[in-house]
Amino acid sequence: MSTATRSVAPRAHVLVAVKELHAAKTRLSGVFDTDDRTGLVLSMLRDTLAVVSDVATVVGVTVVTPDPAVARLARSVGANVYADPTPVDAENLPDEGGTEHGLNAALAAAAEHVRRNESGVDVVALQADLPSLRGGEFGEALAAARTGGRSVVVDHHGTGTAALFSCDPAIPLDPRFGPGSAKRHLDSGARPLDGHWPGLRTDVDTADDLDAAQALGVGPATRAALDALEHTAPSRCGNE
Ligand SMILES: Nc1nc2c(ncn2[C@@H]2O[C@H](COP(=O)(O)OP(=O)(O)OP(=O)(O)O)[C@@H](O)[C@H]2O)c(=O)[nH]1
Ligand SMILES: C=C(OP(=O)(O)O)C(=O)O
């Protein structure tokens, strides 16, 4: 469907998934203990939500999570919460595909819920750990996404997905997140979006990712969390 046949005013609803905090960011466990990782996850989420909520074409933000503390944070900044009933537990480990399945099932259900309730809205699944995201780059990506049905912003490693868009009500979001998800999204027909969007593409899973994000400049909540942990990157610069 062309943009001309859809609603004139672009409207997007952003979905952000966060798993249970005790199981989050395990790849940072060599750098931070559980409490510090939890604080960092919430800070990066806070910065990500603040930026997308400020983008003019974003009419709704929903955090998809089974975690009560994440849900509280989401509500406190004006986001909706879609309760993901899939806990990360011993029977649901990533290497058995459980987490990946739970994440994608929850995102697909949330996307359908949004579309049922908000006619004609574009749906985006966005990573929660984008502390260097700028509103301008997300707005540009949204505009680029609206030129075709389903599209993807590949992450800075070239293997993962920073954001997945469906801008045609007839095309399901069909999320396929998890390791190597960029290829799965592209192979399933999502159009790659080109653009110089370093903050959008820099999701943080490892200490190297955190350094890359700090080099770009991170948002205020993440900055405060890292300062409290006295974690600095060698090439750190400001957020200006
Ligand atoms: N709601 C929900 N979110 C999930 C689930 N699994 C993963 N996520 C979120 O999806 C994003 C990518 O997940 P992962 O890369 O598996 O987890 P992570 O916490 O970022 O990092 P690692 O623990 O190091 O793998 C993160 O924001 C997760 O919190 C799930 O089952 N349900
Ligand atoms: C889940 C994903 O991200 P990451 O493992 O990088 O957090 C993904 O890119 O699909």
Residue 90 is assigned to a structural domain of this protein: yes
Residue 31 is assigned to a structural domain of this protein: yes
Q: Across the strands, what pairs with 191?
A: 151
Amino acid symbol at 49: L
Residue 239 is assigned to a structural domain of this protein: no
Q: What's the pLDDT score for residue 104?
A: 97
Q: What's the pLDDT score for residue 88?
A: 59
Q: How far apart are CA 24 and CA 84, in angstroms?
A: 15
Instruction: Identify the band that residue 230 occupies on the pLDDT scale cut at 50, 70 and 90.
Output: confident
Do the interacting molecules here have an ipTM over 0.90? Answer: yes
Distance 62 CA to ligand 1 centre (A): 15
Domain containing residue 148: 3-206
pLDDT tens per residue across span 120-134: 999 999 999 999 999
Tokens of 161: 């997905």
Q: Work out the average pLDDT over 69-79.
A: 98
| Torsions phi, psi for 55 (to 5 deg) | -75, 130
Pocket of ligand 1 (CB under 6 A): 17-19, 24-27, 64-65, 84, 86, 88, 99, 102-103, 106, 128-129, 205
Ligand-binding annotation for 76, yes or no, is no
Q: What's the pLDDT score for residue 1?
A: 44
Residue 28 is assigned to a structural domain of this protein: yes
Task: Choose the weakest-confidence range: 45-49, 86-90, 120-124, 190-194.
Answer: 86-90
CATH of the domain at 170: 3.90.550.10
Q: How far apart are CA 38 and CA 57, in angstroms?
A: 30
Q: What's the pLDDT score for residue 231?
A: 66
Q: How many domains is the chain partitioned into structurally?
A: 1
Tokens of 66: 């089974």
Residue 170 is assigned to a structural domain of this protein: yes
User: Count of CB atoms within 10 A of residue 100's CB?
Assistant: 17
Residue 66 is assigned to a structural domain of this protein: yes
Ligand-binding annotation for 178, yes or no, is yes
Task: Choose the weakest-confidence range: 18-22, 111-115, 188-192, 235-239.
Answer: 235-239
Q: How far apart are CA 130 and CA 221, in angstroms?
A: 12
